Amino acid sequence: MRSGSTGRAVGIVTLVLAALLGSAYALGRSMVPDPPRRPTGASAHVDGTQYAEQPAAPVSPTPRAARSEATATATATATATDGVPQAGADPDAPQPAAGGDGPFGSHASTGSPQVALTFDDGPDPTYTPQVLQVLREYGVKATFCVVGENAQDHPDLIQAIVADGHTLCNHSWSHDVLLGNRTPALIRADLVRTDEAIHAAVPDARVAYFRQPGGAWTYPVVSVAEELGMTPLHWTVDPNDWQAPGAAKITTVVTRDTAAGSIVLMHDAGGDRQGTVDALHRILPDLMSRFRLEALPVDGTT
């Protein structure tokens, strides 16, 4: 009897200890943050890096304007389509020197009847030469918003863009969607580093524009860009070609939504851009029959 009672007592103690240990483990796990997840919808760069774009959201300076790349990240980084800072924006941040018609005083139209085609995230050794060739065939000049690290890796493509008479735009060093939330000093260093990579390829190149990755504008990033002599460049038409929806869909959106004064956003890097290249063969004849297509002026006026 005594040994049986002892056995039952030991069993009860074991169960209690097990329950206590389980509770302690669960509590400890709840206090450890989950590891960061890779962003969804990221565009793979040729070297394996990810350019995290965002789902589309309306940002329309004109009735026929299409959509912005940024929603979730743009909201978190204080982007507002009506120019009013949202949560996270610094109300004491310097204001843009000259307001445009886009978010936070950026420019979302050419300000003229002309239409401007823009290509982001390059240069890319596979797709940028193809885009240049199509533009050359139709005699169209465009604006290329280049990423600093890509400019550094492919100076020959920067030279080719300039040699063909296209305009250059700074698109940050590494496509940093959160750049607008950093200090003015860090923003300035990023933009200057990108300009230096461009000038290493073409010393006298004029970089007249800056485009914030993801369209995640803030007052500080607009202000710094303007201090460095660059016009903050947004867009009016976005076919979301970074998602590789296919040439047909890209063509439909661009030809349907483009109006006089539109700035059209497309990509020549950051992922599979064959659909964009193929779409250009359909887009250019249509737009050329209705509008005058021009590169944005190198003096930065839109």
**How does pLDDT run across 144-175, given as a tens digit for each residue?**
999 999 999 999 999 999 999 999 999 999 99
107, 171, 234, 267: the catalytic one is: 267
The model's pTM is: 0.73
Residue 104 pLDDT exceeds 50: yes
The backbone torsions φ and ψ at residue 52, rounded to the nearest 5 degrees and listed phi first, read -80, 105
3-state secondary structure of 63: coil
120 part of the active site: yes
Task: Read off the pLDDT band of 51 (50, 70, 90).
Answer: low
281 part of the active site: no
DSSP state of 150: H
The rounded distance, in Å, linking the Cα atoms of 245 and 239 is 9
3-state secondary structure of 266: strand
Domain 42-290 - what CATH class? alpha beta
Q: Beta 50-52 vs 42-44: how paired, if at all?
A: antiparallel
Q: Which comes out higher in pLDDT, residue 3 or 134?
A: 134
Residue 40 pLDDT exceeds 80: no
101, 120, 121, 257: the catalytic one is: 120
Domain boundaries defined on the chain: 1-32, 42-290
